Structure 1
Amino acid sequence: MKIRLKPLDEQVVVVLGASSGIGRASALRLAARGARLVVGARSQPGLASLVQEITAAGGEAVHLVCDAADPDQVQRLADLAVSRFGRIDTWVNAAALSLFATFEDTTPAEFRRVVEVNYLGQVHGALAALPHLRAAGQGALISISSVESRVALPLHAAYSAGKHAVQGAMDALRRDLIADGAPISVTTVKPATIDTPLFTNSRNKMDRRPKGPPPVYSPEVVAACVEHAAEHPVRDLLAGGAAAQMLATEALAPKVMDLLLAKVAIRAESTREKVPGGSPGNLDAPTSDDRVKADLHGRPSLFTWLQLHPRARVLTAAGALAAPTLVRRFRRA
């Protein structure tokens, strides 16, 4: 079965978790390509500023305050898209919360809340989107997961657990759709550390401000993956070359990964800025933080760019294979 997706300037796209960070970067990028946007998140100020930014640039967007953990609210987001624009062509699940604490310092309520948003939020989004993607005759479901769907980090048990669950659910859904012959693409995007406000807004039980382990990539690296997946059926995309390295090491040498992350990752997950008593973060209530980027100075990713440009990848590989021969000929000349 061949899946054909529309050009973005003919699409209606829903982004759940769009008020800041990766979701906001993705919404802005898709709108710049001409897609009509329906955006949802818990933060009314963040959504309002996003819609204003899109419309000021000549795009078209509407928003709805929506908690991904509530299936009824997510369903209303889908209903808004259909009532306003008539259909849904692509649905992007980007809502996420984070908590930095050891496993034993994480309460059952905190585990539940993180998993409700990071995992069940994606389930709610998919369930709301799928009937409309089927009705449209084609479509894309894009899941913003994480390298932590395969490589769990210390101090991040609840987050890693939710992302592991997302991976299993999306893999099973993809296989269900293939068996059914449904022309719907399911893409899982796995970012490495991205420079977003996720860390600033995390609940934190350390005595220092949290951050992601380096290297750190720009949110545009992930947004480019979302843009590509909205037009090209693709199974998985890695945002940042570090994600590929971590996944390979986890697969080939899991015990080495255990020791490496235990020794290195905890220090790499905190800054020097002291925050005695930690910080509550946005688990229980949204913040007004509507930034795309934080202050981690994210960089582009050549690895991801080559993923999204297969012809360039082939040329690069051919050049690498031809290089030794060219060097020998140059030396003989």
Structure 2
Amino acid sequence: MQITREAAISTIPTKKPVVVITGASAGVGRAVALQFARHGWRVALMARGKHRLEAVASEVRAAGAESLVLPADVADAECVEAAASTVVNRWGKIDVWINNAMVTVFGPAESIAPDEFRRVTEVTYLGQVHGTQTALKHMRQVGGGRIVCIGSALTYRSIPLQSAYCGAKAAIRGFVDALRCELLHEGSPIMITMIHLPAVNTEQFSWARCKMDREPRPVAPVFTPEAVADEIYRGALSAPRELWVGRPTVKAILAGLILPGLTDRLAARTAFEGQLDGKLKQSRRPDNLFDAVDPSAVSGGRFGDEASPAVGSVSGSKARAALAVGIGTMMLAAVLASRRLRIR
């Protein structure tokens, strides 16, 4: 008997379900881990920095949940598979897999070296491919599950100084769309969704590699990791095709789809200064492109004073439908107005 998408949502066990989160040692990944922990999930934490993972695992246990620390580089497919096998051997299953790990380089495209482009692609894009393939393997064995790939407004609307990251995020969307079609073709109960995020106040802007003279910053408005984690948790449960988190994400995606040339010019005019902080970059600034950053070097995002604790979300399908209705309404109004003018 074929399991429908709607029925599959109710098939995930309610007794101690299991979630695997990559990039779980800080920022959004940490906040998502704590959100699942507060709802009684077993939480497997994957990232490169073991000390940071241990700290998050302690927080997960303090929230009343079981935790499992999985030091692994998502760019290494064998390491990801070994980590997943550890989860299954310990807890017997994986109900939800969240691909959240990322790295980036801030700077003009010409300033980014080939090995830096390669590394961003290996972690931010291939890391999600490796995680998804591994999750599929284990979820097929139990007959269901959900995979969440974390995207960004920049998945649709690229901006200057982030060519490596934008390219990797766009590649994830292409991969997910193709895989989704394959799952639908076979009638699989496994569901895959992309959740696109706005600017978030995380450590990323303190430990990302930067080729500029000033420190990078998120393009305002900025949101707290906890607010975003709430939406990711809900998206993981409901599994829409896409979930667009925050009004800025919705505006950026729709504007890029409708008026790409105009948004190119707007990004060229505003996104350079919008991504640069007032403080000069430190001369010996640590970054996490190739190696995990020492936990004592960075603690939390720098933009807490401006980060909003409230952010909503909308299904990408509903947003597109609303846009289509709006355009159709305007076209109809224009036709009717034209007819009235001719009659006069």
User: TM-score w.r.t. structure 2 length?
Assistant: 0.85
Aligned to 1:99: 105
> Would you say the 8 A contact 2:246–2:312 is kept in 1?
yes
RMSD between superposed Cα atoms in Å: 2.0
1:153 counterpart letter in structure 2: I
1:283 counterpart letter in structure 2: L
What is the aligned counterpart of 1:51 among 37, 57, 80? 57
Aligned to 2:149: 143
Matches within 5 A, 1:147-162: 147-162=153-168
> Would you say the 8 A contact 1:189–1:222 is kept in 2?
no
* Deviations, residues 217-240 of structure 1 (Å, cap 9, x unaligned): 111232122211232121111121
Matches within 5 A, 1:158-177: 158-177=164-183
2:197 counterpart letter in structure 1: P
> Would you say the 8 A contact 1:69–1:124 is kept in 2?
yes
* Deviations, residues 175-194 of structure 1 (Å, cap 9, x unaligned): 11111111011110100111
Matches within 5 A, 1:227-306: 227-275=233-281, 279=285, 281-289=287-295, 293-297=300-304, 298-304=307-313
1:161 counterpart letter in structure 2: G
User: Percent same amino acid among aligned pairs?
Assistant: 34
User: TM-score w.r.t. structure 1 length?
Assistant: 0.88
CA distance in structure 1 between the aligned counterparts of 2:185 and 2:284, rounded to whole angstroms: 48
DSSP-derived class of the 1:39 partner: strand
2:183 counterpart letter in structure 1: L
Aligned to 1:327: none
Matches within 5 A, 1:1-333: 1-2=4-5, 3-5=8-10, 6=12, 10-275=16-281, 279=285, 281-289=287-295, 293-297=300-304, 298-304=307-313
DSSP-derived class of the 2:134 partner: helix
Per-residue deviation, 1:279: 4.0
Number of positions where the alignment pairs a residue of Structure 1 with one of Structure 2: 308
1:294 counterpart letter in structure 2: G
> Would you say the 8 A contact 1:8–1:30 is kept in 2?
no
CA distance in structure 2 between the aligned counterparts of 1:156 and 1:31, rounded to whole angstroms: 33
DSSP-derived class of the 2:191 partner: strand
> Would you say the 8 A contact 2:125–2:169 is kept in 1?
yes
Higher mean Cα deviation, 99-108 or 51-60? 51-60
Structure 2 residue runs of 5 or longer lacking an equivalent are: 319-344
